[in-house]
Amino acid sequence: MMPPTQCEALSVLAEVVGLSPDIRLGQLFAHLGFLGEDQTGRSLGNIDDEELLAVLYHHRCELIARQTIAPHQERHLAVDDESGFV
């Protein structure tokens, strides 16, 4: 039986994959490795499951924030383009 932390991490990983459809899994794992090193000072293979879960939640929050900011920025750019100001 898989420990609850690992089940949760896989669930959050699936969410992260869904939020970044243009990213290959290898790219995502490499990025998570960089984030893990930044947050813990250790490589992806040396962090605990709980720490990896925290990295995944952090990255998920970043991706969600980008999605909520991006539509606002696109509207702003569209207004600037119509007015002739860039």
**10-35 residue pLDDT tens:** 999 999 999 999 999 999 999 999 99
Domain extent at residue 63: 4-83
Q: How far apart are CA 85 and CA 27, in angstroms?
A: 37
Q: How many domains does the chain have?
A: 1
User: Tell me, what's the pLDDT at 68?
Assistant: 82
Q: What is the pLDDT of residues 41-79, one digit of tens each?
A: 999 999 999 999 999 999 999 999 988 876 656 555 554
User: Tell me, what's the pLDDT at 20?
Assistant: 94
Q: Integer distance in angstroms from the first to the last C-alpha of the chain? A: 57
Closest by alpha carbon to 62, among 26, 6, 23?
23
User: Tell me, what's the pLDDT at 71?
Assistant: 62
Q: What is the pTM of this model?
A: 0.78
Given a cut of 90, is residue 6 above it in pLDDT? yes
